[in-house]
Amino acid sequence: MLCVEGLQRPGLGPISLHIDDGECLALMGPSGAGKTLLLRAIADLDPNTGRAAAAGQARADTPAPDWRRLVAYLPAEPGWWADGVAEHFADRPAALPLLAALGLDAGCLEWAVARASTGERQRLALARGLAGDPAVLLLDEPTAALDPDAAVAVEELIRQRQQAGVSVLLVTHRAEQAERLASRTLHIRAGRLVEGGGS
């Protein structure tokens, strides 16, 4: 469960939304409308005001590192702080099934990050973020750089997480992807949610 109330920062909001356990909410809007700003604000990565709660825990009462483990934000362009892929995974054996589910072979842990393609990096980052079993996923165009097969694998993984009770906020440019995964679609324009799309 993710509950956001009156979330606000320069260029965004106030925004309120609610996502149930196991629900996927799609967020669509033109470039620069504030989709990424909203995800960053929920993850508390930029200064913002307003309330948020996830899995029964209020953000204000949760230390920020714990909050971000609970509410995992996966940026469209993931960051890497070491040369090797393996250094980015705290628990490598636990990551293996995730990597396999995303169509990456087990040897990818031995790669250098620079060797991986954009799409491979996006999937590696997804596995990295999911490894900690977050209760809420904030996904910023998780399939943007992927070929169709890989995109199917990612969508399947998202669906599995939903069935396990994870709430998902999905930023996407593809209306058909929103239809496949989400029960509702919200539209954002100039930093505000606007009417349109599903219920």
Partner 1 sequence: MTGYIELSYLDLVLAALLLLFNAVLSLVFGLQLEKRLLIAALRMTVQLFLIGLVLKALFSVASPWLVGLTALVMALFAGREILARQQRRLAGWWGYGLGASTMLLAGTVVTVLALTTQLRPEPWYEPRYAIPLFGMILGNAMTGISLALNGLSALAARERSAIEARLLLGATRWGALQPFARQALRDGFTPMLNSMAAAGVVFLPGMMTGQILAGVEPAQAVKYQLLVMFLIAGATGLGVLLAVLGSVWRLTDHRHRLRLDRLTGDLDAA
The Cβ of residue 107 has, within 10 Å, a number of other Cβ atoms equal to 9
Query: Is the CB of residue 90 less than 8 Å from the CB of residue 154?
Result: no
Find the shortest distance in angstroms from Cβ 126 to partner 1.
Answer: 12
DSSP state of 112: B
Of 56 and 65, the one with the shorter C-beta distance to partner 1 is 65
The Cβ of residue 143 has, within 10 Å, a number of other Cβ atoms equal to 24
Return the CA Rg of the chain.
Answer: 16
Find the shortest distance in angstroms from Cβ 184 to partner 1.
Answer: 25
Of 77 and 179, the one with the shorter C-beta distance to partner 1 is 77
Burial 44-62 (b: 16+ CB within 10 A, else e): beeebebebbbbebebeeb
Which DSSP helix (H) or strand (E) runs through 19?
strand 12-19
Q: Which pair of structure tokens corresponds to residue 32?
A: 């620069």
Find the shortest distance in angstroms from Cβ 189 to partner 1.
Answer: 20
List residues near partner 1 by CB under 8 A.
Answer: 9-11, 43-47, 63-66, 68-69, 72-75, 77-82, 88, 90, 125, 128-129, 132
Of 2 and 43, the one with the shorter C-beta distance to partner 1 is 43
Query: Is the CB of residue 16 less than 8 Å from the CB of residue 6?
Result: yes
Of 7 and 178, the one with the shorter C-beta distance to partner 1 is 7
Find the shortest distance in angstroms from Cβ 10 to partner 1.
Answer: 5
Of 64 and 164, the one with the shorter C-beta distance to partner 1 is 64
Q: Which pair of structure tokens corresponds to residue 112?
A: 């250098």
Separation CA 178–CA 76 (nearest Å)? 16
Of 11 and 97, the one with the shorter C-beta distance to partner 1 is 11
Find the shortest distance in angstroms from Cβ 74 to partner 1.
Answer: 8
Find the shortest distance in angstroms from Cβ 197 to partner 1.
Answer: 28
